Amino acid sequence: MAAAAPATLGALPWLLALGLLHPLLVGSTGAAVETEADYVGLRFFQENFPAGPKAAETEAGEYLDEFEGEAIFQVDWAQKTTSWRLPDFARFATFEAAGALGYLSGIKNNLEVLMALSNRTRGQSAAPSAKVYPKYPVETGDPNVLICFLDHFSPPVLNITWLKNGEVVSEGVQETGILPSVDFAFRKFSYLPFVPEEGDFYTCRVEHWGLPEPLTVIWSPEESTSLPDTAENVLCGLGLAFGILGIIVGTVLFFKAMRMTNRNTL
């Protein structure tokens, strides 16, 4: 079931060709049985995708399949290969990149027609929301991963830059491809390996056509409470409380037992 595109789509320098959202159908007797599992297909092509504010602009496209909110595989127009995001699917399924590239070629053709009809007028952009958080509970000196999550943006063109204490860092940084979100928008994740140290601060800087200036989200280890320490403190507090309660109850029972013994003696 193809999702209808918004009326202003033809005015954008990108084209969301197909947004499939339907229950996965399974069955062993020829009769399809409907399950609650969601399978999403995203195919888009855009005229350009700048790698930086002053970088050369090149065409970009993506053919992606998603299952239950997780990307299964994607074919990138530039790389021309199939990348499996969920390796388990690759054990029993294959997908030839050539088929996806042919599909994207058709979208590219449609995009050129739509841009000509719209006189290359750019439509309204939706700015991304951004959130930064650690993958694991934060412990000083223990390796961890910072995640920058961008959501609800369109068109699917943005640049993500990580900074540590104001200095750009790129070593070890990984990003997902463009993922589908709600209302014909998109989302994306960027990952930065780091070792938490007191006094350090990290910044996820995002550039997008919908932003008048770069969006920055700052995170520091001090902002994240260590979950193991918190749990340990709670357990210690509960243990101390139960210990004190035990002493009080024990003392009361001891004196009651003494009184009963004295009465029986009399």
- pLDDT tens-digit map of 81-101: 888 877 777 777 788 899 999
- Outline where DSSP puts E strands in the chain: 14-26, 33-46, 60-67, 70-76, 82-84, 129-134, 144-153, 158-164, 167-169, 174-175, 179-180, 186-194, 202-208, 215-219
Domains of the chain by range and CATH? 9-117 (3.10.320.10), 129-223 (2.60.40.10)
Cα 257 from Cα 263, distance rounded (Å): 10
pLDDT at residue 67 greater than cutoff 60: yes
Cα 102 from Cα 106, distance rounded (Å): 7
Beta carbons within 8 Å of 148's beta carbon, 6+ residues apart = 130, 131, 132, 160, 162, 189, 190, 191, 192, 204, 206, 217
- pLDDT tens-digit map of 221-244: 987 644 444 444 544 555 555 566
- pLDDT tens-digit map of 166-199: 999 999 999 988 888 888 889 999 999 999 999 9
User: Which pair of tokens denotes residue 145?
Assistant: 């991963």
